[in-house]
Amino acid sequence: MSDHPTSPGTIVDMFDPGAEMVDRDAARRTATRLRSGDGAELMVRTTDGEMEHLPRGFANLMATVLEEVAAGHTVALVSEAEEVSTSAAAEFLGVSRPHVVKLTDSGLLPCRMAGSHRRVRMTDLVAYKRSVDRRHAFLDELASEAQEMGLYDSPPVRPGRR
């Protein structure tokens, strides 16, 4: 892992599984064990050989990191105060930069102006993505229920037409 500054609003660290030659299967197995709830926990061995238990939240965070690594994704740990450009926001959301600009201009995605440049806080970006993901999951569920009910089997009948 690289050494990054840790002041608020900066990338804290980044891990690229491709560059680090990671055993993705081992990452997947470890993530599964951390998520299993069987009492698996993270510990740190100090320089004097003592073992320190890390809080459960760190185990969950590490499991998430390991799942991403197992999938071959680069993982970046950032401060919640981190601000990104509309280009970086677009990449994070998987949409175009002009779409992000429309989202910020409409107020759906909060931003601040730095001169003529829009800056989006990571917390706002993550909240927006979660809301979109929830909406998509709901629509997928509705479509699945409509499929099960056979609503896609025949064309709709319009009133007054035969």
Using CA atoms, how far apart are residues 42 and 63, in angstroms rounded to an integer? 10
What is the pLDDT of the chain when averaged over all its residues? Answer: 84
Fold of 80-151: Arc Repressor Mutant, subunit A (1.10.10)
What is the average per-residue pLDDT within 128-134? 92
Q: State the pLDDT at residue 141.
A: 92
What is the average per-residue pLDDT within 53-80? 86
What is the average per-residue pLDDT within 82-99? 90
What is the average per-residue pLDDT within 40-53? 88
52 forms beta bridges with: 44
CB contact at 8 A, 71 and 103: no
pLDDT at 125 over 60: yes
Which range of 16-25, 66-75, 101-110 scores highest in mean pLDDT? It is 101-110
Which residues contact residue 87 at a Cβ distance below 8 angstroms, ignoring those fewer than 6 apart? 97
Q: How confident is the model at residue 151 (pLDDT cuts 50, 70, 90)?
A: confident
In the chain, list all ranges with CATH 1.10.10.
Answer: 80-151
Q: State the pLDDT at residue 148.
A: 87
Entry pTM: 0.56
Using CA atoms, how far apart are residues 63 and 13, in angstroms rounded to an integer? 16
For the stretch 18-37, pLDDT in tens is 777 888 899 999 899 888 87
pLDDT at 119 over 70: yes
